């Protein structure tokens, strides 16, 4: 609390009545209606920024609203140390979430940031109401961005493996042998009914379609299911 009280004292000692407007501005910033507007702008702005490929004006405005909200309460001496600590930890958790995709820690980060905003000022109920309204509107915005506009988080798009590695994009896993169906191979061992066949100098585990097949016999690949290759002897 010493640092926060020191900042508040700094404003009191260094701003005379000639510039008392700064305290008037602080009163405006901490008015219940203004705190609601700022809180909503913070939530909506940062959520929109999260789904944007680069920093934009809306993200900058959200950051300025956050600064004004904290600054207003700070000038009035209504910021407590716990609120600052919760906000700092929350931001760290959210940053960690960006690098560890799917971690629950990001959710806790958002909760901590919300709690830090609720604890601003001397009226918890007003700030709690503000955060609840902001969360509800953020959910509406998320539905619009994701469900209607099909927006995705650019950062996650770069980190998470994309669908370009699926079969339609030309990617084949090491054990995908579906392209061998219909090909002719030769048995390297007896198939009783399992054994090994040879195709293009590659040894592949295979099973016969039910009959016993001797070594050095030509077989046709009938079916491939994952790593299971089914063959039939060519008469």
Please tell me the predicted confidence (pLDDT) of residue 15. 52
CA 146 to chain CA mean position, Å: 13
Under DSSP, is residue 194 helix (H, G, I), strand (E, B) or coil? strand
Structure tokens, 186: 């030769």
- For strands 228-233 and 202-208, give the pairing: parallel
- For strands 218-225 and 202-208, give the pairing: unpaired
Using alpha carbons, select from 27, 26, 36, 30 the residue that is nearest to residue 128.
36
Residue 222 phi, psi dihedral angles, 5° rounding: -90, -35
The CATH number for 178-233, chosen from 3.40.50.2300, 3.90.1150.10, 2.40.50.140, 3.40.50.300, is 2.40.50.140
**pLDDT > 60? residue 157:** no
Kindly report, residue by residue over 83-133, the tens digit of the pLDDT: 889 988 988 887 776 666 555 777 788 889 899 999 988 888 999 999 999
Is there a contact between 188 and 197 (Cβ–Cβ < 8 Å)?
Answer: yes
Query: In the structure, what pLDDT confidence band is assigned to residue 37 with cuts at 50, 70 and 90?
Result: very high
Q: Please tell me which of 22-26, 77-81, 109-113, 161-165 the model is most confident about, judged by mean pLDDT.
A: 109-113
Domain positions in the chain: 2-159, 178-233
Q: At what angle do helices 21-29 and 32-50 cross, to 10 degrees?
A: 70
Residue 203: burial class (beta carbons within 10 Å; 0-12, 13-18, 19+) = exposed
Query: In the structure, what pLDDT confidence band is assigned to residue 76 with cuts at 50, 70 and 90?
Result: confident
Query: In the structure, what pLDDT confidence band is assigned to residue 57 with cuts at 50, 70 and 90?
Result: very high
| CA–CA gap between residue 181 and residue 222 (Å, rounded) | 6
Query: How many residues would you count in the chain?
Result: 235
| CA–CA gap between residue 85 and residue 76 (Å, rounded) | 19
Query: In the structure, what pLDDT confidence band is assigned to residue 18 with cuts at 50, 70 and 90?
Result: low
Residue 143's contacts (CB-CB under 8 Å, 6 or more residues apart) are none
Which residue is listed with tokens 């999260």?
Answer: 50
Query: In the structure, what pLDDT confidence band is assigned to residue 82 with cuts at 50, 70 and 90?
Result: confident
Please tell me the predicted confidence (pLDDT) of residue 70. 87
Is there a contact between 167 and 189 (Cβ–Cβ < 8 Å)?
Answer: no
């Amino acid at each position: 609390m010493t640092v926060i009280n020191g900042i508040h004292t700094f404003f009191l000692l260094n701003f005379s009545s000639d510039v008392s407007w700064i305290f008037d501005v602080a009163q405006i910033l901490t008015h219940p209606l203004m705190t609601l507007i700022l809180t909503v702008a913070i939530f909506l702005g940062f959520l929109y920024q999260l789904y944007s490929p680069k920093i934009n004006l809306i993200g900058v405005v959200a950051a300025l609203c956050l600064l004004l909200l904290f600054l207003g309460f700070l000038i009035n001496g209504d910021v407590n140390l716990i609120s600052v600590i919760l906000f700092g930890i929350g931001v760290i958790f959210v940053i960690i979430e960006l690098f560890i995709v799917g971690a629950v820690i990001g959710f806790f980060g958002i909760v901590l940031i919300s709690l830090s905003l609720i604890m601003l000022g001397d009226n918890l109920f007003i700030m709690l109401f503000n955060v609840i309204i902001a969360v509800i509107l953020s959910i509406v915005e998320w539905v619009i961005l994701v469900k209607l506009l099909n927006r995705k988080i650019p950062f996650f798009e770069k980190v998470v493996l994309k669908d370009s590695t699926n079969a339609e994009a030309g990617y084949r896993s090491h054990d995908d042998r579906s392209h061998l169906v219909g090909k002719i191979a030769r048995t390297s061992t007896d198939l009783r009914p399992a054994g090994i066949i040879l195709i293009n100098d590659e040894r592949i585990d295979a099973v016969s379609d039910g009959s016993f097949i001797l070594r050095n016999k030509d077989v046709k690949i009938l079916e491939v299911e994952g790593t299971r290759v089914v063959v039939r002897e060519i008469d």
